[in-house]
Structure 1
Amino acid sequence: MNHAELAAAHCQPLKGPDHALSSESVAQLLAQLPGWSLAANGRELQHEFRFRDFHHTMGFVNAVAWMANREDHHPDLEVGYNYCRMRYSTHDVGGLSLNDFICAAKVDVIAA
């Protein structure tokens, strides 16, 4: 899937390790998400976004929260005055799933 296809897709309920992506699939999908990287544990997708000020940071965070609720797939967020650090993983599969990459692509659209 390319970035546009990921951003247009919707999350599906996933449970169990059978839905965790292989390292090959993770590498292929990660190549579609410039600026995103794997956390040191290899089981989370991460990105840090920077903003002009708190107002813009919170506007972004609120938009991400709305999208996350709609997709029923929620990131871990660390928010400060002019930044938002975001991590995605699918706890129900014990690692990364397609849902993480779908939401990351949607976040990129919001950030743009």
Structure 2
Amino acid sequence: MTDKLTGDARKTALATLKDWKEVPGRDAIQKSFKFADFNAAWGFMTRVALAAEKADHHPEWSNVYNRVEIVLSTHDAGGLSEKDIVLAKVIDAAA
């Protein structure tokens, strides 16, 4: 089981992410991405899906045309964990 990030460890981890925001009312982070078109958004989602499957850690997300909204939280930890921080960095690199 993965441990939930709390206190200074949480603050330090969140400080390493660019433009990820905490979700009000949830122990999660989210980020919005905008691409040139649907094909670019779908390609991004495919890259993220392959990395997420390999890590066995899957995002909550939605896609409308060229926009992708992603929320990360570790359900078995009951909130934000190091898995989310690592996946957020992979997602940013894929974008």
Quote how far apart the aligned CAs of 1:45 are: 1.1
TM-score normalised over the length of structure 2: 0.94
Matching residue within 58, 61, 80 for 1:96: 80
The structure 1 segments of at least 4 consecutive aligned residues displaced by more than 2 Å after TM superposition are: none
Judged with a 3 Å threshold, the aligned counterparts in structure 2 of structure 1 residues 23 and 40 are, in CA distance, closer, same or farther, namely farther
Count of residues in correspondence between the two structures: 95
Would the alpha carbon gap of residues 69 and 76 (structure 1) be closer, same or farther in structure 2, given more than 3 Å must change? same
Structure 1, residues 47-106: CA drift from partner, whole Å, max 9, x if none? 001101000000000110000000000000011101100001000011111000000011
1:58 aligns with 2:58: no
Unmatched segments (≥5 aa) in structure 1: 1-13
Q: CA RMSD in A?
A: 1.1
> Unpaired segments of 5 or more residues in structure 2?
none
Map residues 24-63 of structure 1 onto 2, 5 A cutoff: 24-63=8-47
- TM-score by structure 1 length? 0.81
- SS class of match (1:86): strand
How many angstroms apart in 2 are the aligned matches of 1:51 and 1:39? 22
Structure 2 counterpart of 1:89, which letter?
A: S
Per-residue CA deviation, residues 3-33 of structure 1 (Å, 9 max, x unaligned), is xxxxxxxxxxx25xxx111043222111111
